[in-house]
Amino acid sequence: MSAVLAVINHTQWANLGNLLARKAGALVTLIVIGLIVQWILHRLIDKLVSKAEEGVLPDRITQAAFGRTQTEPQPGSTRRVQRAKTLGTLLKSITSGVIVAIVLTMMLSEIGLNIGPIIASAGIVGVALGFGSQTLVKDFLSGVFLLFEDQYGVGDVVDMGEGLSGTIEAVSLRVTRLRDTNGTVWYVRNGELYRVGNMSQNWARTVLDVQVSAREDLTRVRRVLTDVIHDLWQDEDFQGVIIEEPEIWGIEAITPDAITLRVALKTAPMEQWRVARVLRGRIKSRFDHEGIQAPYPTSYVMNRTPGAPDAPAAANVGAGQDPNE
């Protein structure tokens, strides 16, 4: 019995060897075609990665803003390159897996195996995953585009709407981890992000509203403000922090008690809050020195005695006129 089984096994192996020998050319051709397609797709992915490494904004904008030369690293460029390479590695792995699966299926079909059940099983699994993990697929796709477009990264300060803002601590393909100013850690699924405001990308702006009393001379106030912001612009401690000379945009609001002037400064990312605090302190000190008053509420109180004539009438009487006229 064992001898018969040995003969059968030997015959099966011999038939398989003959089949592989006859189909060797077709199998090798499939492998070569798969390798060529993989090489072409990987080259395309490398080009996409190189485009992603350049960033969303052109380098000339960043260079003009920060005064850096072409050879110096731009702000955020290291993070951008790392994320682009991570995305490229992910895309290469996905394409390689798909190509290997297709080539293996075609090789099995070439040697005479029925691949119908394999294709049917793959279709059933795909449909099940499509219905059961729609949210997961949405999160992953959103994470891929988030990385590719470099919308934000670790260390950025962002506003995600609905009162949720803070510093990004981690970014993955599925979720983003954010810590707010109170220290609370939030986990946000990438598929749920409809809009994100990034306050740390390329440059920022400090917009400061300065209020003075409505009785102040605006020409004098503007001259003092100009001196203060120019001194801050010339301060060596803020070289490279304030990237454009500050401007006074003009009068923002007028009320019976106050006049509001708006000052704008273009700053490096993450520096707008520090610049605003320093500028407020300098404006306050200079206004105190110059005697420029802050606005304060003004109230008018009229005390009238019952039966007493009105003030204009009393004035007319004093002038020798009849109050009844």
**What pLDDT sits at residue 66?**
45
The answer, yes or no, to whether residue 35 has pLDDT greater than 80, is: yes
By the 8 A CB rule, do 196 and 158 touch? Answer: yes
By the 8 A CB rule, do 60 and 74 touch? Answer: no
List of residues 6+ apart from 100 with CB closer than 8 A: 34
Name the pLDDT band for 26 (thresholds 50, 70, 90): confident
The answer, yes or no, to whether residue 192 has pLDDT greater than 80, is: yes
Instruction: Name residue 155's amino acid.
Output: G
Report all structural domains of the chain as residue ranges with CATH numbers, in order of start.
2-147 (1.10.287), 151-198 (2.30.30.60), 204-290 (3.30.70.100)
**What pLDDT sits at residue 161?**
84
| pLDDT top residue among 138 and 83 | 138
Ranking 26-30, 84-88, 224-228, 261-265 by mean pLDDT, the lowest is 84-88
Here the tokens at position 190 are 């990438």
**What pLDDT sits at residue 295?**
84
Whose structure tokens read 């731009």? 74
Q: What is the pLDDT of residues 225-250, one digit of tens each?
A: 999 999 999 998 898 899 888 999 99
The answer, yes or no, to whether residue 304 has pLDDT greater than 80, is: no
The answer, yes or no, to whether residue 280 has pLDDT greater than 90, is: yes
| pLDDT top residue among 223 and 72 | 223
Whose structure tokens read 């740390």? 200
Average pLDDT over residues 117-137: 70
The answer, yes or no, to whether residue 124 has pLDDT greater than 80, is: no
How far apart are the C-alpha atoms of 89 and 106, rounded to whole Å? 26
Comparing CA positions, the residue from 168, 207, 200, 206 lying closest to residue 269 is 200
Here the tokens at position 19 are 């089949």
